[in-house]
Amino acid sequence: MKAEELQARVLHRDGLMLIIDKPAGLPCHAGPKGGPNLEALFDGLRFGLPKPPSLAHRLDRDTSGCLVLGRHRKALAKLGRLFSSGGIDKTYWAVVEGGPAEEAGHIDRPLSKLNKKSGWKMVVDPEGQPSQTDFRVLGRADGPNGGVTWLELKPLTGRTHQLRIHCSSMGWPILGDPVYGPIVGDTGGVPLHLHARAVSVPLYPKRDPVSVTAEPPAHMLKALRACGYTN
């Protein structure tokens, strides 16, 4: 991705923050071995300021949608406090295999990071960090293997991979998840169907929260439309 392409994905801009529509498949920052990443393109998002913006939070490499950036140090500190206190409302869309029997509910399952020689992943652990997610069914589609369900997910805490492991542990993994899905590793080329649909940031005390939505990525549209999405 070029800087100009990322500029076209800016959903909101003001003096303190940017909200961009992160593309799926591109990590927020470079890993131990380097490689393409969003942060390498942030110089093109200065928009007149002396320094590029910085990540106020993160999305997984394969998750698309609303990503908040702070434009300078004080803005980052303020956004950091809002994220850590749960003051920012985040809404995700996911398409899961199978789905919950109920139309809405609450997941309360503590999580811990499990480290192995082959890598790490998150696991449900009664002694882990508190982790809660609210869910609501937006649509369903029948299929030969139980069908799929379009969910709205609202994380009430911000644990790593929280939505992915919560859905998987409930018996309805997110479509295309190579770590927590029913087929680990090779998903048959199906990308992760998880999208940061909306974010609401109460950044200015005397104004309404800044609320932004991001359209779902192309790779999710077929499954979403099967579940009743019409845009």
Q: Which two tokens stand for residue 83?
A: 């994220």
- Say how many residues make up the chain: 231
Q: Is residue 173 a contact partner of residue 154, using CB atoms and an 8 Å limit?
A: no
155 is written with which tokens? Answer: 């994380």
By CB atoms closer than 10 A (0-12, 13-18, 19+), residue 229 is middle
Assign 91 to helix, strand or coil: strand
Q: Supply the residues annotated as catalytic.
A: 60
Which residue blocks in 42-154 are alpha helix, DSSP H?
73-84
